[in-house]
Structure 1
Amino acid sequence: MAMPNLNLKALTVLVRATDALHELIKTDVAQYGLNPTEFSVMELLYHRGQQPIQLIGKKVLIASSSITYVVDKLETKNYVIRKACPEDRRVTFAELTDSGQRLMDEIFPKHEQVINQAFQGMEQQEIEEMIRTVKKIGYQSQDV
């Protein structure tokens, strides 16, 4: 009988855990009328302030072609506003509106609690080790 390939098992476990976390986030932010991508953009703006729209995609891991659509939707909901860069006409910033700021003030602490519950059974040392290990897998995968 062949020995099971632990790498394949690790991949399966990692993908299933990632899928479960994505589902958790999707369910959590849906109660506020947002999808995970919209929430990611708002979370970035909430923590980092205004950002050039062109760079948001890289920071929240979504395709640059989708950014305009997401910012449009957030603008329609009155959570985000576009601002032209006075120094460079090619650059447009996205920034939370007062309404977007108030929403994030309300929901981010609740969202953080949901994420904390997902990691509840783990010691801090286990989480730090997991971060190092998963980063290593990510870097190694880029070199294949």
Structure 2
Amino acid sequence: MKINALKSYGSNTDKAMSTWIQLFRAFNKIRAKESLYIHSFDLTMNQFQVLEVLYHRGDLSIGTITTLTMGTPGNITVVIKNLKRDGFVTSIPDPKDKRSSIISITQKGKDIIEQLFPDHAKNLESYFDVLNDEEMETLFNLLRKLQKSQ
């Protein structure tokens, strides 16, 4: 079925919209595959993101976790509550700010990240196998340039 050409909004705008659609589709495809993998460990993607950032960055405040995971404060609070319930993280009062808590990954949390992260990293590498080294570097630099310009 042939679809009639859409209204043009100008060459650059049309290219920007088409590029956005391709970027969004690629992201969604990779995210869906990784979500299935992470769900096989009985974790949500948000739970994984919190555990991963704590594992690689160390103890953090909820605000810092929210920023690093690009979550929302309300959602991250619920995710952390559930991770605490399941024994993956603990919280201690922030000695610098009595209103805040510092979140720390437990040994149980470290164990699950150490179990799933190596294959997660290999999965990500495999999604980009279609690109050669130069293309990968170019894509990285272009995406970084776009991100920094906003």
**TM above 0.5:** yes
Distance 1:139 1:86, change over 3 A: closer
Q: 1:12 to 1:88 in 2, by over 3 A?
A: closer
Q: Report the alpha carbon displacement of residue 138 of structure 1 after superposing the two structures with TM.
A: 3.0
Tell me the distance in 1 between the aligned counterparts of 2:91 and 2:22.
41
* Structure 1: gaps (5+ residues): none
Indicate the larger mover: 42-51 or 4-13. Answer: 4-13
Structure-2 residue corresponding to 1:132: 141
SS in 1 for 2:91: strand
Q: Distance in 2 between matches of 1:7 and 1:30?
A: 34
- 2:98 corresponds to 1:74: no
For 1:75 and 1:66, locate their aligned partners in 2 and report how far apart those are by CA, in whole Å.
14
Deviation of residue 39 (structure 1)? 0.5
The question of 1:50 aligning with 2:59 is answered yes
Summarize deviations over 1:31-69 as a string: whole Å, max 9, x none.
Answer: 001111110100000101110112110111001121110
- Letter of the 1:80 partner, please give it: V
Higher Rg: 2
Task: Please tell me the root mean square deviation across aligned C-alpha atoms, in Å.
Answer: 1.9
From 102, 112, 119, the equivalent of 1:103 is 112
C-alpha distance in 2 between matches for 1:122 and 1:53 = 36
Unaligned runs of 5+ in 2: none
* 2:97 partner SS: coil
TM-score by length of 1: 0.88
Task: Tell me the TM-score normalised to structure 2 length.
Answer: 0.85
Percent of residue pairs identical: 23
